Amino acid sequence: MITYFNIPPGALINVPITKKQFAEKTALSSVEKRVLREDVERITMKGLLQTRTTGIASYNDSDYNYDQIIFAEVDIRNQGKTALVSAMIQKAFPAPLFLILQCGDAYCVNGCVKRINQTDSSKRVMEDMQTTRYFTLDDDDKIVHDWLQSLDSTKIICSTLKEWFDELSSKLLMLKVSDETGTFVQADARSIANYRQLLGQLKENREAQQHLLTEIKAETQFNARLKFNTQLKALQIQEEELKKRMK
């Protein structure tokens, strides 16, 4: 999976981290310790992007530090633990990190923005955590195929490692957008805010639809059911309009 990112050869590494090493260097809750023990098979560092390995300038200010960007892979036994494992590993590394999770022959990619903790500069506040859905590399799904090709980091035009990270991060969200539209959609860091807004509106719309369906199921009055069904129809039309705006 790491090959799809096409990171510079000088930035490629293959450094395993044992579960014992990880546990010794990371403050873990009792739940995280159990997940590490029972659901994680292996953790491997796969890439370390720095100015010397990429030729791209680092970026530092009072909120963010982009001296390096890490790629790591983790093999897990249960897709249901994806969110917990992702947060646990992201928390362990102060540097920006793209995490490739593998469960059997299925993969997903996780990433998040890390802001410097203003009360303790050695710590990070994780923001905008996002994880793609699971997919397989031999999938006949054209959306997945086109999306994988879009991950090629050599096509990113940037002047700093922060811009590089933001550009690649924007691509993670686009798999979700493409699933909604039924065709591959590509965007860059400048237009991603619009897609985030549309996905947020789509989520709210579907939550409202689910609430109405519950109301309709419980309602016995004909007029009230008619009112709810009219509202549901309006939301369904709005949902289709939102999906069209994503294309």
Domains in the chain, number = 2
Same domain flag for 52 and 107: yes
Same domain flag for 140 and 56: yes
Residue 186 lies in a domain: no
Same domain flag for 142 and 171: yes
Write the CA distances from 218 to 156, 205, 231, 233, 236, integer angstroms: 52, 20, 16, 18, 20
Phi-psi group of 196: left, alpha or beta (phi > 0 → left; psi -120 to 50 → alpha; rest → beta) = alpha
Same domain flag for 205 and 96: no
Taking only the tens place, the pLDDT of each residue in 184-235 is 998 866 788 899 999 999 999 999 999 999 999 999 998 999 999 999 999 9
Same domain flag for 175 and 209: no
- What's the domain range around 92? 2-181
Taking only the tens place, the pLDDT of each residue in 25-75 is 899 999 999 999 999 999 999 999 999 999 999 999 999 999 999 999 999
Same domain flag for 104 and 166: yes
Taking only the tens place, the pLDDT of each residue in 6-31 is 999 999 999 999 999 999 989 999 99
Residue 14 lies in a domain: yes
Taking only the tens place, the pLDDT of each residue in 150-166 is 999 999 999 999 999 99
Same domain flag for 176 and 202: no
Same domain flag for 127 and 158: yes
Section 110-121 average pLDDT: 92
Single-letter residue type at 87: A
